[in-house]
């Protein structure tokens, strides 16, 4: 009797196991082998791929074993898109190959990323073995929209403007994203400078870092205009190569600027922080005069004599590149060459340049050259050499010596220009 009961229990257990197996197999077959079942799995799977987005679609057919096709799908709150963006896909083809969703085979056609106040981004692409390959194009695109996709690119937040005819290929594997293709910069601003009507080829790789995205690759400028405060430069084929430090790229910039009646050929090689600058012009001018011409927009008569020593050349080269290409304001100039300040004055009645060197913590020396237009339309050049010494934290004494060129140094004359402006002074800083 006991032996019979034991045998009976075994048969019951086997029957239960078989029933469970058949049920599970049936459910799995239903989920993987039918359209409605595929929908049950596809929805959370797509949610995983889009980072938790809300997904709806119009139709679904096929099965995940042989392949399922979803039409007119819409996803909101996609994790890798700006919050207000909507992703719409005309056709999505899925085929399950393992339990890992990112190893599935996927292909999508006629996808559109819709952003407020912007042309749609049209895309098609595929996912194979964890690698996304996407082709994307749009008629126009604001640069600020691109930065919304990559909030970690805070170090290029000074870039703004509009792009046209964007044709890009995106290759994303693991955590690296490669962007390659062509685009046209209709109007792009960096700092105080503008890049207009520029055709670019780009090949860039982005990767997330500890606190921000890293960027490397190259940008080839086929043509375009670089507009600074006082000059417009027509760019020939140029290249910017970004390495370990995206703020110090390698440069190969070629262009021609025209300021007034002077045409200036510009070539920049080296890096942003250590550039090699070549300037030639028609009609010929000294290199120092061309530096001032590009940064001030003025050809100063008589300036060559003050610059014949050539001391300005290394000082201004690096700062001109920073100002001319990267929207700098001349603040780096002193650090590059050992001067502590260089400033340019361009008032309607006078133009000048001033150099300062701090000899010690208490002693500073200034040299200034000024071109002044008098009321009677005569021109006066002033050369000033001055020094200041801090006796205490609040008390400073100063001495200024003015040198008038030529006959002006002798004293008053018939034009009323007057004597040199020499002075000794002291200054007391009152604490409040």
Per the model's pLDDT, the better-predicted residue between 15 and 180 turns out to be: 180
Rg of the chain taking only CA atoms, in angstroms: 35
The residues, any chain, with a CB within 8 Å of residue 229's CB and separated by 6 or more, are 192, 297
Burial of 381 (0-12, 13-18, 19+ CB in 10 A): buried
Structure confidence at residue 356 as a pLDDT band (50, 70, 90): low
pLDDT in tens, 72-86: 989 888 877 878 889
Virtual CA dihedral for 232, 235, 238, 242, nearest 10 degrees? Answer: 30
Find the helix packing angle between 35-49 and 2-33, rounded to 10°: 70
How far apart CA 383 and CA 343 sit, in angstroms, is 15
In the prediction, which pLDDT does 241 show?
96
418 domain residue, yes or no: no
What is the CA 349 to chain-centroid distance, rounded? 38
pLDDT at 272 over 70: yes
Structure confidence at residue 274 as a pLDDT band (50, 70, 90): confident
pLDDT in tens, 86-140: 989 999 888 776 656 666 788 999 999 998 888 999 999 998 877 889 999 999 9
> How many angstroms separate the Cα of 181 from the Cα of each of 7, 19, 195, 328?
73, 57, 19, 29
Using the Cα atoms of residue 32, residue 38, residue 42 and residue 44 in order, give the sign of their dihedral: negative
Highest mean pLDDT (candidates 262-276, 343-357, 386-400): 262-276
Per the model's pLDDT, the better-predicted residue between 360 and 62 turns out to be: 62
In the prediction, which pLDDT does 29 show?
42
92 domain residue, yes or no: yes
pLDDT in tens, 391-413: 777 677 777 777 655 444 444 44
In the prediction, which pLDDT does 340 show?
56
In the prediction, which pLDDT does 215 show?
85
How far apart CA 394 and CA 361 sit, in angstroms, is 14
Taking residue 180's Cβ as centre, other Cβ atoms within 10 Å add up to 15
Per the model's pLDDT, the better-predicted residue between 73 and 326 turns out to be: 73
In this prediction, residues 12-38 reach a mean pLDDT of: 45
318 domain residue, yes or no: no
Q: What is the model's pTM? A: 0.61
Per the model's pLDDT, the better-predicted residue between 382 and 300 turns out to be: 382
**What range defines the domain where residue 28 resides?**
20-112
Strand partners, 71: 59, 91
In the prediction, which pLDDT does 432 show?
43
Please tell me whether the peptide bond between 283 and the residue prior to it is cis, using omega within 30 degrees of 0: yes
34 domain residue, yes or no: yes
Query: Comparing 64-73, 278-287, 343-352, which segment has the lowest mean pLDDT?
Result: 343-352
> How many angstroms separate the Cα of 253 from the Cα of each of 57, 219, 235, 397?
50, 11, 8, 47
Q: Which two tokens stand for residue 427?
A: 């200054």
In the prediction, which pLDDT does 199 show?
96
107 domain residue, yes or no: yes
Per the model's pLDDT, the better-predicted residue between 220 and 207 turns out to be: 220
Nearest CA among 14, 85, 18, 87 for reference residue 49:
87
Q: Helices (DSSP H) in 72-160: which residue ranges?
A: 143-149
Identify whether the C-beta of residue 303 lies closer than 8 Å to the C-beta of residue 316: no
pLDDT at 223 over 90: yes
In the prediction, which pLDDT does 98 show?
65
In the prediction, which pLDDT does 334 show?
42
The average confidence (pLDDT) of the chain is: 72
In the prediction, which pLDDT does 181 show?
96
Burial of 121 (0-12, 13-18, 19+ CB in 10 A): buried
Per the structure, how many domains does the chain have? 1
130 domain residue, yes or no: no
127 domain residue, yes or no: no
The residues, any chain, with a CB within 8 Å of residue 309's CB and separated by 6 or more, are none
In the prediction, which pLDDT does 219 show?
94
292-314 burial: b if 16+ Cβ within 10 Å, else e: bbbbbebebeebeebbeeeebbe
Structure confidence at residue 255 as a pLDDT band (50, 70, 90): very high
Structure confidence at residue 19 as a pLDDT band (50, 70, 90): very low
* DSSP 8-state symbol, 101: G
372 domain residue, yes or no: no
Identify whether the C-beta of residue 345 lies closer than 8 Å to the C-beta of residue 370: yes
In this prediction, residues 374-386 reach a mean pLDDT of: 72
Q: How many CA atoms lie within 13 A of 151 on its CB side?
A: 5
């Amino acid at each position: 009797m006991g032996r019979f009961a034991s045998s009976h229990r075994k048969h019951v257990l086997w029957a239960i196991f078989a029933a469970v197996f058949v049920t599970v197999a049936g459910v799995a077959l239903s989920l993987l082998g039918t359209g409605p079942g595929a929908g049950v799995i596809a929805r959370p799977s797509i949610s995983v791929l889009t980072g938790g987005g809300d997904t709806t679609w119009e139709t679904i057919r096929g099965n995940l074993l042989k392949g399922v096709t979803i039409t007119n799908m819409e996803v909101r709150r996609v994790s890798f898109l700006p919050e207000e963006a909507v992703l719409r896909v005309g056709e999505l083809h899925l085929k399950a190959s393992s339990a890992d969703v990112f190893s599935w085979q996927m292909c999508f056609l006629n996808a559109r990323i819709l952003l407020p106040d912007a042309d749609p981004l049209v895309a098609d692409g595929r996912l194979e073995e964890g690698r996304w390959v996407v082709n994307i194009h749009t008629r126009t695109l604001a640069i600020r929209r691109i930065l919304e996709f990559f909030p970690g690119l805070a170090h290029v937040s000074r870039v703004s403007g509009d792009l046209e005819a964007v044709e890009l290929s995106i290759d994303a594997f693991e955590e690296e994203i490669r962007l390659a293709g062509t685009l046209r910069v209709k109007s792009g601003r960096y700092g105080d400078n503008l890049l207009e009507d520029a055709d670019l080829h780009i090949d860039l790789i982005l990767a997330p870092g500890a606190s921000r995205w890293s960027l490397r690759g190259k940008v080839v400028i086929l043509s375009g205009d670089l507009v600074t405060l006082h000059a417009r430069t027509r760019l020939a084929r140029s290249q910017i190569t970004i390495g370990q430090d995206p703020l110090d790229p390698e440069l190969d910039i070629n262009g021609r600027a025209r300021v007034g009646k002077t045409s200036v050929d510009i070539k920049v090689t080296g890096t942003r922080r250590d550039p090699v600058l070549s300037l030639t012009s028609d009609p010929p001018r000294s290199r120092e005069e061309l530096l001032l011409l590009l940064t001030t927009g003025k050809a100063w008569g008589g300036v060559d004599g003050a610059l014949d020593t050539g001391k300005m050349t290394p000082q201004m080269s690096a700062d001109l590149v920073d100002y001319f290409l990267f929207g700098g304001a001349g603040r780096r100039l002193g650090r590059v060459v050992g001067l502590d300040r260089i400033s340019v004055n361009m008032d309607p009645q006078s133009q000048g340049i001033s150099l300062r060197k701090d000899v010690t913590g208490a002693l500073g020396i200034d040299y200034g050259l000024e071109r002044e237009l008098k009321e009677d339309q005569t021109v006066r050049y002033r050369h000033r050499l001055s020094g200041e010494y801090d006796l205490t934290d609040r008390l400073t004494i100063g001495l200024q010596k003015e040198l008038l060129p030529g006959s002006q140094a002798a004293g008053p004359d018939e034009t009323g220009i007057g004597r040199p402006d020499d002075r000794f002074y002291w200054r007391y800083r009152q604490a409040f």
